[in-house]
Structure 1
Amino acid sequence: MSQGDERGYGGNEPGGRTEDAYSTLGGTRQTRTRLPGGGEDGDGYGRRPTRNSRSLIMAVGVVVLLIAAIAFANQGGGDGSSGDNGKKPEAAGAGPTAATGTKPVQGKNGTIAAGFAHDEQGAQSAAANYAVALVSAEILQPDRRSELVPQIFVAERVSELEARFDQAYNKAFLDKVGLDEKGIAAPGMTYVSRTAPVGTKTTAYTDASATVEVWCTGVFGTAGVSSTNPVSNDWFTMTLALRWTGDDWKVDSFSQKDGPAPVHTDRTASDADEIAKAVEEYGGFTYAR
């Protein structure tokens, strides 16, 4: 599952996971990944594990909580103006599975990539990396969230979004998903929220703004023997309205919707210790178009 089902921060479009202005960018080539130091570590996301009905009901219950919190945070704000202004991108000559081969990013702003190219490829790379940050475990932690939001959003939206995130992920919400007021899981438990972009598509582009759709999969939940929110897999598409500001692409608004999702095959689920160990041992990627 993703952090929320109906998330869209600050657009004037109808709220919800399918329509709000805060969401992923399309092109005609496949997303490639670049490891952060040239190492060989990487994230692998398996198929949805088989569960008994009790675990499934508990997982669905937590998804509903996340949806409600995101919907609350998405109320009001923003004009979503960057979403549909500008030309529709034309299909490139290369096939949809070809990577661009251009260096994607010049540096990092904290833990998030920064310095994206001022072109469609740069916008897609930015959208992919911002999607990962927006559906991370750290976004639920107040201390980390105060660092991440200014790195992701345009400056004039930061204060508004910080307040809405704080309201959405308040203590009552964190209690319901098994986290303390600092967004930390109980001793012996590991909260997991790891997203992997599968591809990107540009739906609108100008030199000043871009709209990008990011198709994602990921693993979400709490790993632990007594967890009532078991780690499961989800597929979703995030649409991000980006603006070129301060010599970089930043998010003006985003939204999220379900799928496209493949058929899941039966597969024995890993135990909680194995999942927690994987999250601790396998580092994340910097994503590039």
Structure 2
Amino acid sequence: MPDDKNIKISKILAKTRRKLLETGTRNRLIHVNRTNQRANCLNVINERSDDIYSLLRIDAKKMRFKAMGKDKGEGDEDMHLATPDIDQADDAERYTDNFIETPTGPEALARRLLRLAHDAKTAEEEQGLNILYLAMGFLRWRENASSKIQREAPLILLPVELIRDERTSTYTIQSRDDEITTNLPLQERLRQDFGIVLPEIEEVDSWQPSHYFLRVIEAISTQPEWSVDENGIQLGFFSFAKLLMHRDLDPTNWPEDAFAENDLLTGLMANGFEADTPLFGPKTSSTTISIQRKSFR
């Protein structure tokens, strides 16, 4: 039976871990505005999550980007973005080639990839963390039944990196070895607000994104206005720094009683610290200090 000290530490750690999960809609793990063309991200069209996952993650291939839109010309206010090609939806070969299709024009695509690569490298150098992910599958949800605002949250986040070809000044994308983790802020938001348990991601052999999407669809079945965009894909930045701290503070990741037996933690959270030995004695001291006068000539 856990003692009072263990219980107190566990409660403090649980409260701290909850605070680390930012569940507000400003967090891109809770809501992504995929229609914002000025955002530092890159939407993907005409691709399927299962095929992209197989090519990048399982086959460990490098993929290139293809611009399907047209750049802004003279007199144009905006570039001409390509839309998903529904007529070619049954063309299996387009999903298994080494190109990832994007709605932007060639020049806009080059600028966007350059900026993404630069910002990803800077973040990793300064923070020591990769924050560039390929988001696959988006949960379309609403904060309440009367809300007219549709939120979109990423479901699967594949850690990736952009590799520059110095000869052609183009970029390829490849998967990193980092694990794919569950979207914990979204999981906590759904639990708090709706009592919905977002499934854990368990990346095992023969696993595919579509397997996870089916489990999510089942979990949200009580919300008729919600849906899953299984082949919605976006390359962008998602910060997991606080989630790493959340994981490190999970008692199940440590030996039993590891926190309770740590003197520093128990001092901070439970017992306090013993008073240090004072540098000076009490104001009144019985010690007599002899002072000898010297004569100066």
Query: 1 or 2 for the larger relative contact order (CA 8 Å, sep ≥6)?
Result: 1
User: Which band: TM-score by shorter chain?
Assistant: under 0.3
Question: Comparing both structures, which one devotes a greater share of its residues to helix?
Answer: 2
Normalised to the residue count of structure 2, the TM-score between the two structures is 0.23
User: Which of the pair has more CA radius of gyration?
Assistant: 2
